[in-house]
């Protein structure tokens, strides 16, 4: 200790006054500053040190890469490996996300997309982030876009409700309606139907605003109601010419009699005019179910139809003459 004091007394005259004044306090301050500097340096060094972490369940967000594309989100996630500052090694997969831009052409072609490191984002606002890998790197798109489409309207009604003696027709609206929804659903929709328009007890034409029926869940109808014109008219008979006359035998007559002549062989049938009927649905016939003997018979011509909407007004002529002969068997020759 005495040696230190002697050394101090010897060098003190040569030390500037600014250092020599209150020297010991300044020395302690210097030592403390050095220790603090060392601590800060070590802390900063540890913060700068990067560590690798593997993260699972990192969500992928598809974003439109061009204007006018409205993407329908879907849940998809990937695994990533990243390097982050050592002090941030407690991060989880949900602290990150992958922002992947896609175009309309990619969606329509259902093309896979490649996930790149610079697409990785962090909600923790990391200054230093190094993405090492993304798994899987190629990702099937399998998403759809929201789109709009114009489709025609088909009015709906039950024509069986129309009063006897009248016929009804529905005029399809000229303007199409606009619908909005996933494009893959829109592609299968060719038209929209209206709610059922009642026709019972109606004898005059009318027009009405009616609601449209949504064809699929998730399809939005943008046009609202539509106006449909309903035309009601009195039936005008429609003529079908040259329909062959059939003969209806009873069991005995069918086995023992044959037709040698029918006059006339075909007739004209007048029916109430209704849509979508054909001549093959109209069947004039002679009822010979009670006839059991050969001869010449004059019989009223009757008519039936396998279409309930067809109402027969008149058969022209009203009667036919049929000649019946006995069936000749080999034993009777």
Q: 52 CB contacts (<8 Å, ≥6 apart)?
A: 81, 82, 83, 132
- Residue-wise pLDDT tens digits, 276-286: 788 999 999 99
Q: Are 274 and 294 contained in the same domain?
A: yes
Residues 289, 265, single domain; the answer is yes
Residue ending a domain, choose from 122, 142, 162: 142
What is the domain-level CATH number for residue 156?
2.170.120.40
278 and 309 in contact (C-beta within 8 Å)? no
Return the exposure string of 106-126: e unless at least 16 CB atoms fall within 10 Å of the residue's CB, then b.
bbeeeeebebeeebbebeeeb
Burial class (CB in 10 A: 0-12, 13-18, 19+), 273: middle
- Alpha helix (H) residue ranges in the chain: 2-11, 17-20, 23-48, 104-109, 183-186, 251-256
What's the pLDDT at 12?
Answer: 61
- DSSP strand pairing (237-244 vs 177-182): unpaired
Q: 187 lies in which domain range? A: 147-234
Same domain, 189 and 177: yes
Least trusted range by pLDDT, from 46-55, 117-126, 146-155, 310-319: 46-55
Q: For residue 192, what are the β-bridge partners?
A: 153
Name the nearest CA neighbour of 112 among 85, 142, 135, 86. Answer: 142
89 and 173, same structural domain?
A: no
CA Rg value for the chain: 48
Check whether 127 has a pLDDT greater than 80: no
Q: Are residues 163 and 108 in the same domain?
A: no
Q: What is the CATH number of the domain that holds 325?
A: 2.170.120.30
CATH number at residue 118: 2.170.120
Q: What is the pLDDT of residue 22?
A: 63
Question: Into how many domains does the chain fold?
Answer: 4
| Paired strand residues for 323 | 261, 296
pLDDT at 205 over 70: yes
Say whether both 258 and 297 belong to one domain: yes
Q: Specify whether 253 is located in the same domain as 324.
A: yes
Question: Residues 134, 189: one domain?
Answer: no
Could you tell me the pTM of the whole model?
0.47
Answer yes or no: do 151 and 229 share one domain: yes
Cα separation, 260 vs 19, whole angstroms:
150
The last residue of a domain, from among 113, 142, 171: 142
For residue 301, give every residue at least 6 positions away whose Cβ sits within 8 Å of its Cβ, in sequence order, or none.
Answer: 245, 267, 284, 285, 286, 315, 317, 318, 319, 320
Taking all residues of the chain, what is their mean pLDDT, rounded to a whole number? 82
Task: Check whether residue 113 and residue 157 sit in a common domain.
Answer: no
Q: Quick one: pLDDT band at residue 333, thresholds 50, 70, 90?
A: very low
The arithmetic mean of pLDDT across residues 215-244, rounded, is: 87
Query: Does position 273 have pLDDT exceeding 80, yes or no?
Result: no
Same domain assignment for residues 65 and 130: yes
Residue 69: which residues within 8 A CB-CB, separation 6 or more?
102, 103, 104, 107, 145
What gap in Å lies between CA 175 and CA 127, rounded to an integer? 57
End position of a domain, from candidates 18, 33, 48: 48
Compute the distance between CA of residue 262 and CA of residue 250 in angstroms, rounded to an integer. 18
């Amino acid at each position: 200790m005495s040696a230190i004091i002697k050394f101090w007394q010897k060098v003190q005259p040569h030390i500037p006054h600014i250092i020599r004044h209150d020297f010991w306090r300044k020395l302690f301050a210097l030592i403390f500053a050095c220790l603090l500097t060392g601590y800060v340096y070590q802390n900063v060094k540890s913060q700068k040190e990067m560590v690798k972490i593997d993260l699972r369940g990192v969500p992928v967000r598809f974003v439109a890469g061009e204007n006018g594309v409205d993407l329908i989100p879907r849940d998809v996630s990937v695994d990533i490996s990243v390097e982050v500052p050592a002090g941030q090694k407690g991060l989880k997969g949900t602290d990150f996300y992958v922002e992947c831009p896609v175009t309309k052409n990619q969606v329509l072609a259902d093309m896979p997309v490649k996930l790149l490191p610079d697409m990785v984002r962090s909600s923790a606002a990391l200054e230093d982030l190094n993405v090492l890998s993304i798994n899987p790197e190629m990702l099937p798109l399998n998403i759809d876009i929201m789109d709009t489409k114009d489709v025609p309207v088909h009015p709906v009604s039950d024509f069986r409700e129309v009063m006897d003696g009248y016929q009804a027709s529905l005029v399809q609206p000229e303007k199409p309606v606009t619908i909005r929804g996933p494009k893959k659903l829109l592609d299968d929709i060719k038209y929209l139907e209206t709610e059922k328009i009642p026709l019972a007890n109606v004898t005059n034409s009318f027009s009405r605003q009616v609601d449209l029926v949504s064809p699929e869940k998730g399809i939005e109808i943008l046009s609202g109601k539509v106006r449909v014109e309903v035309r009601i008219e009195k039936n005008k008979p429609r003529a079908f010419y040259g329909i062959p006359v059939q003969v209806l035998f009873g069991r005995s007559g069918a086995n023992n009699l044959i037709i040698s002549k029918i006059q006339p062989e075909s007739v004209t049938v007048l029916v109430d005019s209704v849509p979508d009927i054909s001549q093959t649905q109209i069947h004039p016939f002679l009822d010979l179910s009670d006839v059991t003997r050969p001869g010449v018979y004059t019989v009223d011509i009757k008519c039936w139809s396998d279409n309930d909407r067809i109402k027969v007004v008149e058969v022209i002529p009203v009667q036919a003459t049929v000649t019946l002969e006995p069936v000749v068997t080999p034993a009777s020759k």
